[in-house]
């Protein structure tokens, strides 16, 4: 699921929203736990650096998952994954998220694979 190729190369609206919500909740919980740990380690520099390293790994994983989910959602809309860069445009990126949540995917096969609703 968290690769840019494979069986599920397209992701419909429901799965995109669900996986994105799950990823957001898990990342928030992990950062909460890491924050609690860092609050107890204020006098141990080595432990603080290790906590920062773990935070970086969690954040990098969350970014990678977000890229994969968005690329697959864009493929369902018959668009290139390069449209992901629209996220970087201030304000436009916010509307782009709503577009990904609510736009109906291409019915039937497209250049990125079969319709995910036919595979369910």
3-class SS string, the chain: CCCCCCCCCCCCHHHHHHHHHHHHHHHHHHHHHHHHHHHHCCCCHHHHHHHHHHHHHHHHHHHHHHHHHHHHHHHHCCCCHHHHHHHHCCCHHHHHHHHHHHCCCCCCCECCECCHHHHC
CB 16 within 8 A of CB 69: yes
More confident residue, 119 or 65: 65
Q: Please state, rounded to an integer, the average pLDDT across all residues of the chain.
A: 86
- pLDDT, tens only, 40-90: 766 777 777 888 888 899 899 999 999 999 999 999 999 988 999 998 899
In whole angstroms, give the CA distance from residue 53 to residue 50: 5
**Domain layout of the chain by residue ranges:** 13-107
Return the structure tokens found at 52: 């920062």
- pLDDT band at residue 117 under the 50/70/90 scheme: confident
Return the structure tokens found at 113: 């694979």
């Amino acid at each position: 699921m968290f690769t840019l190729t494979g069986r599920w190369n397209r992701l419909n609206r429901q799965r995109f929203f669900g996986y994105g919500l799950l990823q957001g909740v898990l990342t928030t919980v992990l950062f909460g736990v890491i924050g609690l740990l860092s609050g107890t380690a204020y006098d141990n520099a080595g432990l603080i650096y290790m906590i920062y390293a773990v935070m970086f790994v969690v954040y990098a994983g969350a970014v990678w998952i977000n890229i994969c989910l968005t690329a697959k959602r864009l493929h369902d809309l018959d668009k290139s994954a390069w449209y992901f860069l629209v996220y970087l445009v201030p304000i436009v990126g916010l509307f782009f998220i709503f577009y990904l949540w609510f736009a109906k995917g291409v019915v039937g096969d497209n250049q990125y694979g079969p319709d995910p609703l036919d595979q369910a």
